[in-house]
Amino acid sequence: MSSDIPDHYGRTELVLMVMDPLHLFAYWEVTPESLREAQDALGAEMDGAGAVVRFYDISLIHFDGTNAHHTFDIDIGLEARGWYVPVWTADKSYCADLGFVARTGRFHAIARSNVIHTPRAGVSGNTDERWMRVKFVRRRKPDRARPLEFVPAPALPRQLSPEELRALQDRLAKEKALADARFAGGGLPSSQERSPR
Amino acid sequence: MSAQAIHPAGYLCLVLHCHLPYVRHPEHDRFLEENWLYEAISDTYIPLLRVMNGLVRDGVDFRLTTTLSPPLISMLRDPLLISRYERHINRLIELAAKEVHRTAYQPEYHRLATMYLERFLQTRNAFTNEYGRDLVGAFGRLQEMGKLEIITCGATHGFLPLLNVVPGAVRAQLRTAVAHYEETFGRPPHGIWLPECGYFPGLDEVLRDVGIQFFFTESHGLLYADQRPRYGVHAPVFCPTGVAAFARDLDSSKQVWSAEEGYPGDPAYRDYYRDIGWDLDYEYIKPYIQPDGKRGSTGIKYCRISGKTDQKQVYDRDWAMQRAADHAGNFMFNRERQVEWLRPTMDRPPIVVAPYDAELFGHWWFEGPEWIDFLFRKLHFDQQTVKPITPAEYLERHEINQVCTPCGSSWGHKGYHEVWLNGGNDWIYRHLHMAARRMEELAHRFSNADGLTQRALTQAGRELLLAQSSDWAFIMKTGTMVEYAVKRTKDHIARFTRIYEQLLAGRVDAGWLKDIEEKDNIFPSLDPRNFS
Residue contact B220–A195, C-beta within 8 A: no
Average pLDDT of the residues in A114-139: 95
A145 and B CB contact within 8 Å: no
Identify residue B269 by its one-letter amino acid code. Answer: Y
Q: Residue B5: pLDDT above 90? A: no
**Is A143 in CB contact (< 8 Å) with chain B?**
no
- Maximal CA-CA distance, chain A: 76
Domain with CATH 1.20.1430.10 in chain B: 421-531
- A174: confidence class by pLDDT, cuts 50, 70, 90: confident
What is the arithmetic mean of pLDDT over A107-133?
Answer: 96
pLDDT at B206 over 70: yes
CA distance A3 to B490: 6
> What percent of chain B is predicted at pLDDT more than 70?
99
Neighbouring C-beta atoms of residue B309, cutoff 10 Å: 7
The per-residue pLDDT for B4 is 45
SS3 B314: strand
Cβ-based neighbours of B274, under 8 Å, separated by 6 or more: B301, B302, B303, B312
DSSP for chain A?
-PPP--S--S--EEEEEEEETTEEEEEEE--HHHHHHHHHHHGGGGTT-EEEEEEEE-TTS---SS--SEEEEEE--GGG-EEEEE-S-SS-EEEEEEEEE-TTS-EEEEEE---EEPPP-S--S-----EEE----SSSPPPTTPPPEEEPPPPPSSPPPHHHHHHHHHHHHHHHHHHHHHHTT-SS--HHHH---
A82 reaches B (C-beta below 8 A): yes
Give ranges for CATH 3.20.110.10 in chain B.
16-77+134-270+315-414
The pLDDT-based confidence of B257 (bands split at 50, 70, 90) is confident
Residues 6+ apart with CB under 8 A from B498: B512
- Residues in chain A with CB shorter than 8 Å from the CB of B512 are none
Q: Are B89 and B127 in contact (CB under 8 A)?
A: yes
- pLDDT tens per residue, range B381-425: 999 999 999 999 999 999 999 999 999 999 999 999 999 999 999
d(CA B471, CA B172): 18
Q: Name the burial class of residue A177, with classes exposed (0-12), middle (13-18) and buried (19+) by CB atoms within 10 angstroms of its CB.
A: exposed
The reported pLDDT for the residue numbered B2 is: 45
Structure confidence at residue A197 (pLDDT) = 33
Best A141, A169, A172 member to test B by mutation, with max B CBs in 10 Å, is A141
**pLDDT, position A1:** 58
* DSSP letter (8 states) at residue B312: P
Specify burial of residue A40 (Cβ count, 10 A radius: 0-12, 13-18, 19+). exposed
Residue in chain B nearest A143 by alpha carbon? B211
Q: How far is B68 from chain A (nearest CA, A)?
A: 16
Question: What is the reported pLDDT for A185?
Answer: 63
* Residue B235: how many other CB atoms lie within 10 Å: 23
Residue B513 has pLDDT above 80, yes or no: yes
Residue A146: per-residue pLDDT: 83
Provide the 8-state DSSP code for B386.
Answer: E
Residue B102, min C-alpha distance to chain A (Å): 31
**Taking CB atoms and an 8 Å cutoff, what residues of chain B touch A156?**
345-347
> Rounded distance, CA B259 to CA B252, Å?
14
| Interchain proximity A119–B244, CB inside 8 Å | no
pLDDT score at B6: 63
Is the CB of B480 less than 8 angstroms away from the CB of A196? yes
- Facing B491 at nearest CB: one of A2, A178, A191: A2
> Between B392, B414, B419, which is nearest A183 by CB?
B414
Closest chain B residue by Cα to residue A7: B431
pLDDT of residue A166 exceeding 90, the answer is no
Q: Which helix (H) or strand (E) holds B78?
A: none
Query: Which residues of chain A lie closer than 8 angstroms to B494, CB-CB?
Result: 2-5
Alpha carbon separation from A129 to A151, A159, B227, B235, B408 (Å, rounded): 11, 19, 7, 14, 20
> Tens of pLDDT along B82-133?
999 999 999 999 999 999 999 999 999 999 999 999 999 999 999 999 999 9
Please give the average per-residue pLDDT across A115-137, as a whole number: 95
Q: Model-level pTM greater than 0.80? A: yes
Give tens-digit pLDDT for B345-380: 899 999 999 999 999 999 999 999 999 999 999 999
Mark which residues 8-37 of A lie under 8 Å from B by CB: 9, 15, 17-21, 23, 25, 27, 29
Q: What is the mean pLDDT of residues B188-200?
A: 98
Its ipTM equals: 0.95
Residue A167 predicted with pLDDT over 80: no
Enter the CATH code of domain B16-77+134-270+315-414.
Answer: 3.20.110.10
Percent of chain B with pLDDT over 90: 94
Angle between helices B107-125 and B79-102 (to 10 degrees): 160
Whole-number average pLDDT of chain B: 96
Query: Are B394 and B13 spatial neighbours (Cβ–Cβ below 8 Å)?
Result: yes
- The conformation of residue B365, written as its DSSP 8-state character, comes to B
Q: Is the pLDDT of residue B284 over 70?
A: yes
The predicted structure's pLDDT at residue A165 = 76
Interface of A with B in 99-118 (CB under 8 A): 114, 117-118
Distances (CA, A) of B407 to A90, A118, A119, B192: 11, 9, 6, 17
Tell me the count of A-B CB pairs closer than 8 A.
245
pLDDT of residue B250: 86
- Structural domains of chain A, ranges and CATH numbers in brackets: 13-117 (2.60.40.10)
State how far the Cα of B371 lies from the Cα of B323, in Å rounded to an integer.
9
pLDDT over threshold 50, residue A163: yes
Residue B313, class by beta-carbon neighbours within 10 Å (0-12 exposed, 13-18 middle, 19+ buried)?
middle
B227 phi and psi angles, rounded to 5 deg: -115, 130
Chain A residues in contact with B188 (beta carbon < 8 A): 139-141
Residues on chain B touching A137 (C-beta within 8 angstroms)? 213
Contact between A129 and B227 using a beta-carbon 8 Å cutoff: yes
- Which pLDDT band holds residue B20 (cuts at 50, 70, 90)? very high
**Cβ separation of B223 and A123 shorter than 8 Å?**
yes
Output the average pLDDT for chain A: 88
Does residue A195 surpass a pLDDT of 60?
no
Residue B189 has pLDDT above 90, yes or no: yes
Write out pLDDT tens, residues A76-118: 999 999 999 999 999 999 999 999 999 999 999 999 999 999 9
**Beta-bridge partners for A100:** A51, A108
Question: Can you give the pLDDT at residue A144?
Answer: 87
Choose among B323, B363, B317: nearest CA to B112. B317
Among B80, B139, B76, B249, smallest CA distance to A188 is for: B249
Question: Is there a contact between A130 and B404 if contact means CB atoms under 8 Å apart?
Answer: yes
The CATH classification number of B421-531 equals 1.20.1430.10
Across residues B501-522, what is the average pLDDT?
98
Considering only A124-138, A168-182, B296-310, which range has the smallest mean pLDDT?
Answer: A168-182
Count the alpha carbons within 13 Å of B127 in the hemisphere toward its beta carbon: 26
Mean pLDDT of B264-277: 94
**pLDDT given at position A194:** 39
The Cα–Cα gap between A171 and A173 comes to: 5
- pLDDT one-digit tens code per residue, B313-337: 999 999 999 999 999 999 999 999 9
SS3 assignment, position B64: strand
A190 pLDDT band, cuts 50/70/90, is: very low
Q: What pLDDT is attached to residue B1? A: 42
Confidence of residue A51 (pLDDT cuts 50, 70, 90): very high
* Residues B294-315 pLDDT 10s: 999 999 999 999 877 777 899 9
Q: How confident is the model at residue B155 (pLDDT cuts 50, 70, 90)?
A: very high
Which chain A residues touch B490 with a CB distance below 8 Å? Answer: 2-5
A128 touches chain B (CB under 8 A): yes
Residue A46: pLDDT band by 50, 70, 90 thresholds? confident
Q: What's the pLDDT at B3?
A: 43
Collapsing DSSP to helix, strand or coil, B468 comes out as coil
pLDDT for the residue B344: 87
Closest CA to B410 of B115, B199, B100, B248: B199
Q: Cβ–Cβ of B250/A175 closer than 8 Å?
A: yes
Q: Which secondary-structure segment (H or E) carries B453?
A: helix B451-467
Please list every residue in chain B whose beta carbon sits closer than 8 Å to the beta carbon of residue A194: 257, 259, 360, 364
